[in-house]
Chain A
Amino acid sequence: MESARSKSLWIAASLLILVWTAFPILWIVMLSFKTPSEVGNVQGFFPKDWTWENYETVFKTDLFTSALINSIGISLIATLIGVVFATLVAYAIARLEFPGKKIILSFALAIAMFPVVSLVGPLFDLWRNIGLYDTWPGLIIPYISFALPLAIWTLSAFFREIPWEMEQAAQVDGATNWQAFRKVIVPLAAPGVFTAAILTFFFCWNDFVFGISLTSTDNARPVPAALAFFTGESYFEQPTTAICAAAVVVTVPVVIIVLAFQRRIVAGLTSGAVKG
């Protein structure tokens, strides 16, 4: 009986948390299906007339489509470069003994804790002087440097989990250090690499502060920043519904990525590597 009661308690608690977290999202989704005039005039959670109008508006706006391209491009490039760097660094930290290992790790941690906002001002000046202002690299560089620490910490934890014998076996089998790393360690660390990639991607995708401060035109402005400049269909109406539609559009990839990669992460490739 005890277990049945605790089970129902668990379910109740889970439901509560689910509602708590899902409600704002659902609200945004509902708003995105309302007509612009309905907001503030008609009461009710669900739209009176369901409409795709807002989505059409969003995709017709150059501001949004170019921002979407910017966001995707910048996030992907930053993720790719960041993860490659982080993999190499994390491997070195997990496997090699070298002076300054501790310093690198604590430095990475310090960067992760550094307040982003305090860097925006100097960066703005610097970027304008060297011509990186309002360009893709101008965003990619700070994204990488702020995403690296987290990726390094995640990945080095993963590398430490891999039995060292794997690599030694490869070396005895005739592999160079690089071959052992590429053919044995990286495939085994794949779940970790994916985790790090997802975290980095989300960091870049969700960033607002850099996005709005270091860009001024469609050249490089990412979606979160672009949303703030959104005017909607008509100047006489609040663009709330259109902004909500845009928010839903940029949330969808995040949800898809999580669902797609979750299985890879959970798959736990290392099972069966050593004795059962």
Chain B
Amino acid sequence: MAAITMKNIVKQYGDGFPAVNDVSLDVQDGEFMILVGPSGCGKSTLLRMIVGLEDITAGEMVIGDRVVNKVAPRERNLSMVFQNYALYPHLTVYENIAFPLRLAKTSNEEVQRRVNQTAELLELTEHLERKPANLSGGQRQRVAMGRAIVRQADAFLFDEPLSNLDAKLRGQMRTEISRLQRRLGVTTVYVTHDQTEAMTLGDRVAVLRRGVLQQVGSPRELYEEPVNLFVAGFIGSPSMNFLPASVDGSFLETPLGRFELRDERKIEAVGDRSVVLVGIRPEHFEDVSLVGEEKKARGSIVRAQVDVTEWLGNELYAYVPYEAPEDLAAQLRDLSRELDSDQLRTQAVVALDAASLISPGREAELWIDTTKVHIFDPATGDNLTRDEERVEQLGRMAEDSRAAQREAQRGPADDETGASVAES
């Protein structure tokens, strides 16, 4: 086990395009770090630089206390699960899992003991003699994991390991990976573009955009206190609504209506800007008829024309189209394209209680929880209302809960196979 430290890592391809640009990131010992971002953001490249399959153009990669910039992959003692699993089709499941041990010239009894332990842990025991071609997707995925955990690697690296599984299996494997990682306590770097995986698996999440690191923090921090438009739009589904607004004292004039900012700190943050982007998450809207008096006082009420509704059983999505000034609309379109969503029209998505009786085509009264609103600078995209105190508090919370979880896992796991695979 080891910490991974990246210092100003740059990856430049032959044509001078920087796939990864000046990324500095610390992965602590035993931490589960997620690299996330839209396709082409450089997350996989960064992972491949950690494992050594990609040269590092500039910067320093430290694993444990060793600079590994020029070290061959096989000498870095890391293990990796590939997106397409990369199982060896000519070998049985047993030999696939045993492959790293065989290369390390492990004795036969030791190989047998470890492979059997790993197989038991991953419930592969009855498949050991089969070839990968005869396994289902989920089983292949587990074999790939087995090959990664069978030896004592300093860290696990996952490159979108679940993207080839169907939704149900993905959910199961996600919990499986999480449990396994907590149990083995091995430093893990996990690349994904799926934000559910990012939010649920990681101790911390690093968001990348065009090779540049945007924000690193606990999932909760990314969700509640994003640093800029990009992170705010990327984290959360459906993504945050960005409404252009003109500032009028403590009031904001948005296409959905006018409401008041009642927070001194936020008013101050807006400063003398006349136009800002207001970010409101869909779930911070509610149907007025379902909001209690006390809660109603906390926010503001706007009237809006609902275009389409989608009732999902547990909640109701309502779509509210609006007109935006041309330059801001273009900027929002660019952003949504960058987030892989390519929204055609400017519209707000609103998530309401499933009991709401709002119907499409009518004007509806919506309550906005203005305390949760973020305000962004339209020129730079920076979040003007990020609460540093809250960030610090969230960081401490995440740290504490991680420590507590480790403590809880370490106790009972000692006599189980998982722990002995990692520690023997």
Contacts and interface: CB of A to CB of B under 8 A. Distances in A.
Contact of B103 (A179, A187, A188, A270): A179
Interface stretch (B80-88, B274-282, B333-341, B410-418): B80-88
Interface in B64-95: 72-74, 78-80, 82-90
Most chain B CB inside 10 Å of its own CB: which residue of A168, A184, A188 = A168
B103 A272 contact: no
Contacts of A271: 89, 133
Contacts of B178: none
A181 to B, nearest CB: 13
Contacts of B82: 165, 168-169
B30 interface: no
Nearest to B102: A183
A275 B85 contact: yes
A28 interface: no
Contact of A269 (B80, B90, B140, B147): B90
Contacts of B137: 275-276
A166 interface: yes
A121 to B, nearest CB: 47
Interface residues of A, number: 26
Contact of B86 (A165, A174, A276): A165
Contact of A171 (B53, B131, B151): B53
A174 B103 contact: yes
B107 interface: no
Interface in A120-169: 163, 165-166, 168-169
A42 interface: no
A188 B84 contact: no
B132 interface: yes
B84 A165 contact: yes
A113 interface: no
Interface of A: 163, 165-166, 168-176, 179, 183-184, 187-188, 190, 269-276
10 A-B pairs with the lowest CB-CB distances in the bound complex, closest first? A272-B133, A165-B86, A169-B86, A274-B84, A173-B100, A273-B89, A275-B164, A174-B103, A187-B90, A171-B73
Given A169-B80, A272-B134, 11 more contacts: A165-B83, A166-B88, A169-B88, A171-B52, A172-B51, A173-B74, A173-B103, A174-B74, A174-B151, A272-B131, A276-B136
